[in-house]
Structure 1
Amino acid sequence: MENSFLSLLSVKIDFAKSHTFFPTIIIWILFILLALIFIFNGIPYLRSLFRGEISLNFSLEHVDKIRLPGTLILIVAYFMLMDYVGAFFPNMGYGFLFVSIPFIFLVSLLYVHDINRRKFMYILINAIIGPSIAWLVLAKLFNITLP
């Protein structure tokens, strides 16, 4: 009886599949959040759409023509560069660290309004401290392999 109870508290993860553990959890959390968003926002939106209270507008006049492509370019570059830089330092997580700092800095600069010296310093500090803490916690404390 005691051995069966202790076996419930032990976790065994195959090292060959360990890199899929946290992404799987994140994917399920995102699906649950998507379902909640659809339930609370999507259903009322569809009801008002079918009643004719609102109409679908597919014009591009309200699209931010700098931030949308800038974000897409930065995200693609982030993932491509993370793999490239990570290949120089295998299994150390430096690819994540060295690419996340400029990525967060550039995305923050892309979305900031009325930039001044104070906001610039906050962005710079956040871009350095945020990924550094995430890298320390994930790579050093929990020994999670990062690119």
Structure 2
Amino acid sequence: MESGLSSFLSISIDFETSHLFFPRIVSWVMAGLFGLVVVTKLLPFLAAVRSGEKDLPIIGESRDNFRFFGSLALIIAYFYLMDVVGDMFPFTGYGFLYVSMIFVFLMSLLYMHEKTKKGVMIVSAISIIAPACVWFIMAKVFYITLP
């Protein structure tokens, strides 16, 4: 009886696969939520499109091509340049810091409707302060390596 109870209460950890425990749980939860969204939102929407009550939102509507393709170009450049600049300053996180400042500034300017002096000054301040705070918290407080 003693050995059965002690084996029931003992824990063995396989360290080669233990790091996959929580990612598997998160993956299954996300897959379940995706399925729930498909069943509750997408299927009724597609039924309404088939019956003619609604139209597909991407067909026939205008799009701001400058902002759309500008956003794509900035995002691609952001990830590419973060690695390039990060290689210039290895293990410091300056690649993240400098490229994020420029990215936030340009992305904000891209979506700013009226470019006033005050608006550009606010965007400039935010583009310096926000990435610097994130860099400080991630690199100096939590010791997370940034590119």
Residue deviations 1:61-110, cap 9 Å, x none? 51111001100110111011100000011111000001000100000000
Q: Tell me which structure has the larger Cα radius of gyration.
A: 2
Consecutive unaligned residues of structure 1, counting only runs of 5 or more, are: 5-11, 13-17, 19-23
Cα distance change on mapping 1:38 and 1:109 into 2, 3 Å: farther
Q: Which residue of 2 aligns with 1:82?
A: 82
Q: Check if 1:58 corresponds to 2:56.
A: no
Q: What is the TM-score when the length of structure 2 is the normalising length?
A: 0.71
Cα distance in 2 for partners of 1:38, 1:70 equals 30
1:81 is aligned with what amino acid? Answer: L
Report the counterpart of residue 133 of structure 1 in structure 2: 133
Deviation at 1:38, TM superposition (A): 4.5
Residue 69 (structure 2) aligns with: 69
Q: Which residue in 2 is equivalent to 1:97? A: 97
2:46 corresponds to which letter in structure 1? L
Letter in 2 for 1:92: T
Please, what TM-score do these two structures have when normalized by structure 1? 0.71
Which residue is equivalent to 1:8? none
Instruction: Return the alpha-carbon distance in structure 1 between the equivalents of residues 115 and 37 of structure 2.
Output: 32
What is the CA-CA distance between 1:44 and the residue it aligns to? 3.6
Separation (CA, whole Å) in 2 of partners of 1:127 and 1:87: 22
Distance 2:120 2:37 in 1: 33
Structure 2 residue ranges without an equivalent (≥5): 1-8, 10-14
